[in-house]
Structure 1
Amino acid sequence: MFQQALLNEIVAFIAVAEFGSFTLAAEQLNSTKSSTGKAVKKLESELGLNLFNRTTRSVRLTEEGQIFLDAAKHAVDTINEAKLLLDARKDEPAGHLRVNLPIGIGRNIANTLKDFTQNYPKVTVELSLSDRFEDAIKGEWDIVVRIGELSDSSFIAKRLCHVSPVLCASPEYLSRRGTPRNLHELREHDAVMFRMPTGKRRPWIFHETNGSTIEMSPNPLALFNDGRTLVDAVVSGLGIGQLYDKALGSLLKTGELIELFPESAVKGPPINALIPSGRVMPAKTKVFIEFLKNHFN
């Protein structure tokens, strides 16, 4: 099977066929007559055919050479068209974009995805929601969004924003159990907590009046290992939970959740868009990262 010929050998053959001269073809290719002749000879050797009838005065295609010329020109034209298409896609966002997001913030992003698709109709977005970083590593994702600092060197981190932990409860819960008057009274209430992929509970974090930071890990009434279910549980009145603000959407504005002790709130970890290292970032990836920044901020 003919597989070994390189593209420059085919290009040399096409130039000789079109100019009818090794000398003129070499000038066109910014090469030498000797190099052009060797390239054509190698191509003929790979094919096992003579592509040209050569005399001291002329170079003419054989019948087989004419057949190969037609096919070769079509192939080179197809490659050039593909390159032009790819060059255009560097500037124009287009194609299939695969994005992996944490469950809690991912659903809120899905609710605003219409804005992105209207601005970039040639981009098809595939969203996958998972809180486990292992799931992201296994998949061939264009963008992986995660909360926390980057620890995997196979990704490059693009900072999107920081999250803030918000201690909150539903009006129904506070009406039923009462509103805690200080942080110490939280231990008397029903706690709803998040279990991290490591298996540990995510502690509640607060600023104290003296400026120090404290962690609290009350005995939970319920534990959840995905952020959205945790939010839903707190909204339902199950208990008090410390939730990331980027997962809340409009729940505080609509009054479905009430923030407790806002004066004790701390700045939380960053949200990063992780891009596989070693890849050129296409336009579709760049514009989606900008969309994420606008969404979070």
Structure 2
Amino acid sequence: MINDIAPHKLDVKFSDRPPQPTDYVLSYSGGTVLLMGEENFALPTFADVGGVLDDCEHLFEIDGMGFFLVPGLAEVGAPGCSAQSIGVLRDMQPQHLAFAGLTGGQLYRWRSARRFCGRCGTPTERGSTERSAVCPQCGLVEYPKISPAVIVAVSDGDKLLMARSASGTYKRYGLIAGFVEVGESFEDTVRREVMEEVGLKVKNIRYYKSQPWAFSDSEMVGFFADLDGPSDITLQRSELAEALWFGLDDIPPTVSTVSIASELIDMVRTGKHRLI
């Protein structure tokens, strides 16, 4: 998974320290990120863009190296740099820097959406002791958007349930997934999403692991589950274009290892999910 950056270590402790020339610049505009190079992209440092800039916000560190949000630079550009689709970070190396770029993008989107207080409309300020958006007028405090979601590999003996989305650009087969609703446990969400999208009941729900997923500002919580009852699929066509049961030898190959979905699928393919 793209967040598996060991032996590198992410440190999200709040800090207001100023940037150093060797720290990294994270600058975004819409769905783009400022990168160096033309093919082998890299995150720029402050030294690369001409020195320390104004209005920088410390976001986090990896191995003691700082990553700072720099508003506006992606729009005006810098020597040797260009604005690229944030999607290129999926395949950028080294992986710990790609993960940093994606995580910074999540915080950029949150800052952009919280420039004004949602209660009284006053411009917000950055929190002085924690990562937050504070209204100086009414005192409302808001924190980074992290939307919990579940993803589940549903098995029926030696078969795996896989589906294709009815919307978006990703058309490969994946797993059933969805956001947690108010008042639900993660296990409740698994049951509801599977029933809503394919009309099936599940049992023996087992937690696997979780993954921060910056593309949708979410935390993906992975599960395995077994079919409970008939295997006939009733498709929710507003969500899915297709859903099928695949034998273990027929499961489509995973083309990327960045997401928890690929791990769940490979665990079923190899039978290791039975050990969970």
Q: Could you tell me the TM-score, scaled by structure 1's length?
A: 0.21
Return the structure number with greater helix share: 1
Q: Which has the higher Rg, Structure 1 or Structure 2?
A: 1
Bigger strand share = 2
User: Highest relative contact order (Cα 8 Å, sep 6+), 1 or 2?
Assistant: 1
TM-score by length of 2: 0.22
